[in-house]
Amino acid sequence: MTESIYANYPPSLSPTQQEFLVTTIKDWAIQNGLAVRPPPTYVPEGTDPNRVLATTAPVTLFPSPFPRSCFQEAEALQTAYNRLYATITNDEKWLGKIIEDLIDVDDFVANLWKTHLAVKEEGYVQDLSLGLFRSDYMAHETANNAPELKQVEFNTISSSFGGLSALVRSLHYDLLTSPPGFSLSYPPHPLFESNVPPENTAVETLSGGLAAAHIAYGPSKSSPKLPLAILFIVQDGERNVFDQLALLKRLTDFHKIPVFRVISSKILDQTSIPASDPSRPLVYTPPHSPTTPFEVTTVYLRAYYSPDEYKSSRDWEARTHLERSAAIKCPTVLNQLSGCKKIQQVLAEPSGPDHLSSFLKGTDSSLIERLRKTFAPQYDLSESGQGRDLALNPESALKHVLKPQREGGGNNVYKSEIPGFLKSIPEADWKGWVLMELINPAANAENVALRNDGEVLRGNVISELGVYGTILWDNKGNVLHNDQGGWLLRTKGKEVNEGGVAAGFSSLDSVLLF
């Protein structure tokens, strides 16, 4: 049944229909802020010296079919996932044991861990942590049964695209229901009949988490007291700025909270912690209004998630500066580390101890089993384990993907290339990699994508569903706020996933449930 859904989708487009859709989407995107700053491949640096140009975010022309059961299961599990990762973050001992094993193969993890240890030695002054999470899944096709929800990764830092994703849902909704009273933007298709993408409350959910932290921070710790604000730490030259601004707008307009964006390289210039104040408030002085300092309740990192962002010791100094402050971190260093693929692998190791049950004590066992069912089998490559054999055997390798355990990676090694790749690197480095059984999304899914350079590409695609959640908890394990809501569908041209062909695409998409 699933196969037949994909076989006839999307409806074919005449050149006139495609031109209409593409024009409508390009205009809709700019009218509604579904935009990015253009990539240098399309607008070379000298062409837009004032960085004033924008272009449509890459989107699919059609929403993609997605099994309703998988979508609902992902939503149903998110608050349990939130709790799982909050609990792991609190278990410094368990986390540390795994992390310390990675230190000699992964500088980035090593430096994050060192940052934690340094702040721990001085003593943390903030008991609360905030998580804005996104759990990413695929709908895994099985031979005879309904598709199964399988987790690709769990993001504990930045968790971006909530802002743009909500807009893509609106775009596809508008196309499906326009003009009013009719439905003529797309050619007719059975899947379109009384069917629109479900609501997408990503912006409300993520902003709600930040607002909850802001309130839980309590009164200013400075003397004299300062006004309170949230800081977004962002990358210099960020092209995905409108995604972030959607959250900022919600915090400003609805929650009435001051929010400032600070480029990561400016943290040490624009924020300070008074040396004399043992409560270590993080003070932000807006450069455009230097006489009005604010105390930062919450630091939301939209930067510092990837190793290449730490260009010098000054970046580590800035990260440590934030970590030791009284601001609530989203995320803390430990929470960021909990998102390592290695952690995911340990949780998902088919033959290991039952970590899930111990972390989710008090949780209904059937819920724990549903969570466990979302894991694809994963292995380390230790001598003692099963993973090494599965990776080196050319036949079993075909069913697997080898992932570096770093976030923001993208350097996966697939199938037949795994044995050769492993032999090409020192065996001592193997523990930096995780072997994961491949998830099989629908083989014949298709869509049409509008790239951010305006090119239209059609082809076989793989879609990944992300579900957003947010949790605020303290270091004793008390949960103050635990919420889920909103989703992301990212759809890639198939060849991209299998080796990064330049002609491919990765687009924001929305779901049509079936």
- Closest approach, Cβ 171 to its own copies, in A, equals 13
Quick check: is 407 catalytic?
yes
Site pattern 213..252 for its own copies (x: CB under 8 A): --------------x-x-----------xx--xx--x--x
Residue keyed to tokens 């022309």: 61
Token representation of residue 229: 């604000």
Site pattern 366..405 for its own copies (x: CB under 8 A): ----------------------------------------
Kind of pairing between the strands at 59-60 and 413-414: unpaired
Q: Hey, which residues does 461 pair with through a beta bridge?
A: 493
ω into residue 426 within 30 of 0, thus cis? Answer: no
- Alpha-carbon distances, residue 184 vs 61, 181, 190, 191, 426 (angstroms): 14, 10, 14, 14, 58
On whether the CB atoms of residues 416 and 392 are closer than 8 A, the answer is: no
Q: Is 485 marked as a binding-site residue?
A: no
| 471: Cα separation from own chain's centroid | 15
Residues 407 and 425: their CA atoms lie apart, in Å, by 20
Kind of pairing between the strands at 456-474 and 446-450: antiparallel
First to last CA, the chain: 10
Token representation of residue 209: 């988490």
- Closest approach, Cβ 194 to its own copies, in A, equals 18
On whether the CB atoms of residues 354 and 57 are closer than 8 A, the answer is: no
Residues 240 and 296: their CA atoms lie apart, in Å, by 24
Among 12, 32, 393, 478, binds its own copies (CB under 8 A): 32
Residues 333 and 322: their CA atoms lie apart, in Å, by 10
Question: Taking CB under 8 A as the criterion, which residues in 167-206 touch its own copies?
Answer: 178-182, 184-185
Q: Which lies closer to its own copies via its Cβ, residue 26 or residue 114?
A: 26
- Closest approach, Cβ 370 to its own copies, in A, equals 39
Q: Is 19 marked as a binding-site residue?
A: no
Question: Taking CB under 8 A as the criterion, which residues in 288-317 touch its own copies?
Answer: 288-289, 292
Q: Is 37 marked as a binding-site residue?
A: no
Q: Is 502 marked as a binding-site residue?
A: yes
Amino acid at position 504, single letter: G
- Alpha-carbon distances, residue 416 vs 99, 390, 421, 437 (angstroms): 29, 12, 9, 13
Q: CB-based burial of residue 140 (10 Å sphere; 0-12 exposed, 13-18 middle, 19+ buried)?
A: buried
Question: Taking CB under 8 A as the criterion, which residues in 43-72 touch its own copies?
Answer: 43, 47-56
341, 342, 388, 451: the active-site residue: 341
Quick check: is 3 catalytic?
no
Quick check: is 68 catalytic?
no
Q: Which lies closer to its own copies via its Cβ, residue 234 or residue 442?
A: 234
155, 264, 338, 452: the active-site residue: 155
Quick check: is 476 catalytic?
no
Among 4, 16, 41, 365, binds its own copies (CB under 8 A): 16
Query: For 279, phi and psi rounded to 5 degrees?
Result: -80, -5
Site pattern 446..475 for its own copies (x: CB under 8 A): ------xxxx--------------------
Q: Is 46 marked as a binding-site residue?
A: no
Q: Is 121 marked as a binding-site residue?
A: no
Q: Which lies closer to its own copies via its Cβ, residue 27 or residue 127?
A: 27
Residues 129 and 120: their CA atoms lie apart, in Å, by 15
Q: Which lies closer to its own copies via its Cβ, residue 180 or residue 219?
A: 180
On whether the CB atoms of residues 186 and 62 are closer than 8 A, the answer is: yes
Quick check: is 312 catalytic?
no
- Alpha-carbon distances, residue 432 vs 8, 102, 192, 382 (angstroms): 42, 6, 45, 10
On whether the CB atoms of residues 168 and 59 are closer than 8 A, the answer is: yes
Quick check: is 495 catalytic?
no
Residues 134 and 82: their CA atoms lie apart, in Å, by 9
Among 5, 9, 10, 35, binds its own copies (CB under 8 A): 35
Q: Is 246 marked as a binding-site residue?
A: no
# chain residues binding its own copies, by CB under 8 A: 54
| b/e code 501-513 from CB counts within 10 Å (16+ = b) | eeebbbbbbbbbb
83, 250, 329, 403: the active-site residue: 403
Among 3, 27, 269, 427, binds its own copies (CB under 8 A): 27
Q: Which lies closer to its own copies via its Cβ, residue 8 or residue 178?
A: 178
Q: Is 490 marked as a binding-site residue?
A: yes
Quick check: is 341 catalytic?
yes
Tell whether residue 21 is a contact of its own copies (CB under 8 A).
Answer: yes
141, 204, 323, 407: the active-site residue: 407
Q: Which lies closer to its own copies via its Cβ, residue 43 or residue 479?
A: 43
- Closest approach, Cβ 24 to its own copies, in A, equals 9
Q: Residues for the chain: how many in total?
A: 514
On whether the CB atoms of residues 504 and 462 are closer than 8 A, the answer is: no
User: Can you give the binding site for its own copies, defined by CB under 8 A?
Assistant: 14, 16-17, 19-21, 26-27, 30-33, 35, 38, 43, 47-56, 178-182, 184-185, 227, 229, 241-242, 245-246, 249, 252, 256-260, 286-289, 292, 452-455
What residues are labeled active site? Answer: 134, 153, 155, 160, 341, 403, 407-408, 490
**Residues forming the annotated binding site for Mg(2+)?**
153, 155, 407
Residues of each annotated binding site: 134, 153, 155, 157-160, 238-240, 244, 302-305, 341, 403-412, 414, 436-439, 464, 490, 492, 498, 501-502
